[in-house]
Amino acid sequence: MSITPFNVEPVAIKVWVEHRIIYIELTDGRIIGFPADRFVILSKASEDQLQGVRLEVGGHALRWEDLDEDLTVNGLVLGQFQLPLPKKVA
């Protein structure tokens, strides 16, 4: 038995925002969420501005027109964020 490795770039079929967490649903059934505060521009955006997200480029990118911000789905899946997680205060 052999296994053939292949690389398939992830594609989003749905995007939504809840309480400053952006969620994407991928064609393979996974749902990935990340805090808006992991990106410089999104961290400064209001909840209403975050809600303006839409899928672009056939599900390969997220776009916030009002913020002039674009993120690739592949980069999100790989965890390529601009900012570190904020430290929790005990």
With cut-offs at 50, 70 and 90, classify the pLDDT of residue 8.
confident
Q: How far apart are CA 79 and CA 5, in angstroms?
A: 21
Question: What is the C-alpha end-to-end distance of the chain, expressed in Å?
Answer: 52
How high is the pLDDT of residue 86? 74
Query: Domains, the chain, ranges and CATH?
Result: 12-75 (3.30.2020.40)
Determine the Cα–Cα distance for residues 31 and 39; give it in Å rounded to an integer: 19
**pLDDT value of residue 9:** 87
**Mean residue pLDDT across the chain:** 92
The answer, yes or no, to whether residue 79 has pLDDT greater than 90, is: yes
Residue 64 pLDDT > 90: yes
Mean pLDDT, rounded, for 26-39:
97
